[in-house]
Amino acid sequence: MFLLVLSLSLIIEKVILISIILGGSLGVAMYSTWAERKVAAVMQDRRGPNRAGPFGLFQPLADGLKLFMKEEIIPNFSNKFLFILGPSLAMLMACMTSAVIPWGPDITKTDGGVISLQVADISIGVLYIFGVVSLGVYGIMLGAWASNNKFSLLSGLRAASQAISYELAMGISLIALVMMTGSLSMREIVAQQHGFWHDGYFTWNFFKQPLAFIIFIVCSFAELNRAPFDLAECESELIGGYHTEFSSMKLGFYLFAEYINMFITSVILSTLFFGGYNYPGMDWVALHVGPVLFSIIGVLVLLGKAIGFILFFMFIRWTIPRFRYDQLMNLGWKSLIPLALINMLITGAVILYFLK
Per residue in 287-329, pLDDT tens? 988 888 999 999 999 999 999 999 999 999 888 888 888 898 9
CA-based angle 187:192:198, to the nearest 5? 155
CB 298 within 8 A of CB 115: no
Q: How far apart are CA 89 and CA 86, in angstroms?
A: 5
322 backbone dihedrals φ, ψ, rounded to 5°: -65, 140
pLDDT averaged per 10 residues, the chain (length 356): 66 86 89 91 89 87 86 81 88 89 85 81 89 85 86 84 89 92 92 88 92 94 85 73 82 87 94 93 89 92 95 91 87 93 93 78
Q: How far apart are CA 338 and CA 329, in angstroms?
A: 13
Per residue in 19-58, pLDDT tens? 999 898 889 988 999 999 999 998 888 888 888 888 888 9
110 backbone dihedrals φ, ψ, rounded to 5°: -65, -30
Q: How far apart are CA 154 and CA 159, in angstroms?
A: 9
SS3 content of the chain, % helix, strand, coil (to 5): 70, 0, 25
Quote the DSSP letter at residue 78.
Answer: S
Cis peptide before 338 (omega within 30 of 0): no
Q: How far apart are CA 335 and CA 211, in angstroms?
A: 12
- For the whole model, what pTM was predicted? 0.92
> Helix 248-273 to helix 125-146 angle, to the nearest 10 degrees?
160
What does each C-alpha distance from 197 to 80, 226, 301 come to in angstroms? Answer: 55, 34, 17
202 backbone dihedrals φ, ψ, rounded to 5°: -70, 145
Among the listed residues 141, 146, 131, the one whose alpha carbon sits nearest the alpha carbon of residue 161: 141
What pLDDT score does 32 carry? 92
Element (H, E) at 92: helix 80-96
What is the torsional sign of CA 29, 31, 37, 38? Answer: negative
Quote the DSSP letter at residue 281.
Answer: T
CB burial class (10 A; 0-12, 13-18, 19+) of residue 202?
middle
Sorted by where each begins, the domain ranges of the chain are 78-355
What is the torsional sign of CA 267, 272, 273, 274? Answer: positive
CB 149 within 8 A of CB 141: no
CB 120 within 8 A of CB 21: no
Q: How far apart are CA 67 and CA 293, in angstroms?
A: 38
What pLDDT score does 7 carry? 73
Side chain identity at residue 5, one-letter code: V
What does each C-alpha distance from 162 to 89, 127, 142, 183 come to in angstroms? Answer: 19, 20, 16, 28
Concatenate the DSSP letters of all residues of 212-279 into one string.
Answer: HHHHHHHHHHHHTT-TTS-GGG-HHHHTTGGGTT--HHHHHHHHHHHHHHHHHHHHHHHHHHS-TT--
Among the listed residues 99, 26, 6, the one whose alpha carbon sits nearest the alpha carbon of residue 249: 26
> Helix 210-223 to helix 248-273 angle, to the nearest 10 degrees?
180
Residues in the chain: 356
Is the backbone of residue 182 left (phi > 0), alpha (psi -120 to 50) or beta?
Answer: left
What pLDDT score does 175 carry? 92
What does each C-alpha distance from 68 to 36, 62, 319 come to in angstroms? Answer: 21, 10, 32
What pLDDT score does 267 carry? 95
DSSP bridge partners of 202: 197
